[in-house]
Amino acid sequence: MQYIDFHRSGDAEELCLASGKVPNVRKDEILIKVYAAGVNRPDILQRIGVYAPPADASKILGLEASGQVAAFGKDVEGWSVGDRVCALCNGGAYAEYVAVPIGQCLPIPDNLSFLEAAGLPETFFTVWSNVFQCAGLKAGESLLVHGGGSGIGVTAIQFAKALGAEVYVTTRTAEKCLACEDLGATLAINVCEQDFVDEVMIATDKKGVDVILDMVGGEYIQKNIDCAALNARLVSIAFLNGSKIEVNLMQMMLKRLTLTGSTLRPKSSEVKALIAAELRQFIWPLLFSGQITPCIDRIFNLSDAADAHRYMESNQHFGKIILAVR
């Protein structure tokens, strides 16, 4: 099969097309004939050498894929060769074939293409596990999402809106602000022109927000505390602006805040299977009905993975970047 390799850690120019063996399928895995793969920020971190894959995972880049079932292990039930499938991969999605634990696979809704489905798993698993399982966002509460135009951001907006929450987001351009509001955000704040703490406190009549999903870090950590409501839950999933900062924890105590975070990739297959089961129960019906839709910015060929990485690093995209494999 063909796949994307990189001989050493570094810039996007290190990515190249290579040939290798189709992966072996373990007894609890599905072998997917890949039609498309999603591009995610952790792929870039792995490429530059600061986010190593788990020891038992494929060293090939790629955390989500869509395609057809090509084969499966002896313990796999409920799937047939040729079924349309999308999956959260432990690695290996930038390839013509990838092997994935059965619990991390989900059927592609009939109304979605392979290209659309490839952009679902990574952000859907991340948002569901952090915003709903961990932070416990409920209907009637409010959510602040930083990076509203990212794949995570557009997913969080749609999930929270569909399930009855009020959504506020931050982003860095007027165009992205309008696009976020079109997706369902009540308020999109351009952080290049406005202070998000001031805007959130005005919008919430000084109450603050109940849940904050943060992938920025840095000075946002203190600002998150400043605009959090009583008993709010603050979840960090990345630190694009750094993870080390001095903060005043007095407000955390007085507001009874919960500050937490997680990484998805190292979680066990059992935990990921539980996330998948809840997505199938609560979110998949909304995909079938069209209430939640994929948001794809640009599609690149697999051989142009370097261009896809450069485009993500430019931060121009709104929604998902996809690699077309076939």
80-132 pLDDT, tens digit per residue, is 999 999 999 999 999 999 999 999 999 999 999 999 999 999 999 999 999 99
DSSP state of 24: P
Query: Quick one: the chain helix, strand, coil %, rounded to 5?
Result: 35, 25, 40
16-50 pLDDT, tens digit per residue, is 999 999 999 999 999 999 999 999 999 999 999 99
pLDDT score for 153:
98
Ordered alpha helix ranges (H), the chain = 41-48, 114-117, 121-127, 151-162, 174-183, 196-203, 220-226, 250-254, 269-278, 284-289, 305-313
Q: What are phi and psi of 204, to 5 degrees?
A: -105, 15
List of the chain residues with pLDDT < 70: none
Encoding tokens for residue 271?
A: 């935990």
Angle between helix 41-48 and helix 305-313 axes, rounded to 10 deg: 110
Distances (CA, A) of 259 to 83, 136, 147, 152, 186: 41, 13, 19, 19, 24
Cα-Cα-Cα-Cα dihedral sign, residues 228, 235, 11, 32: negative
pLDDT score for 111:
96
CATH number of 124-261: 3.40.50.720
pLDDT score for 7:
86
Residue 118 and residue 322 in contact, taking contact as beta carbons nearer than 8 Å: yes
Homologous superfamily of 2-120+265-324 in CATH? Medium-chain alcohol dehydrogenases, catalytic domain (3.90.180.10)
Residue 118 and residue 188 in contact, taking contact as beta carbons nearer than 8 Å: no
| b/e burial code for range 77-86 (CB count within 10 A of at least 16 → b) | eeeeeebbbb
End-to-end CA distance of the chain: 12
- Residue extent(s) of CATH 3.40.50.720 domains in the chain: 124-261
Query: How far is the C-alpha of 64 from the C-alpha of 118, rounded, in Å?
Result: 6
Phi-psi region of 120 (alpha: psi -120 to 50; beta: other; left: phi over 0): alpha
Residue reference for tokens 């690093």: 313
- Residue extent(s) of CATH 3.90.180.10 domains in the chain: 2-120+265-324
Cα-Cα-Cα-Cα dihedral sign, residues 146, 148, 152, 155: positive
Query: How far is the C-alpha of 297 from the C-alpha of 10, rounded, in Å?
Result: 25
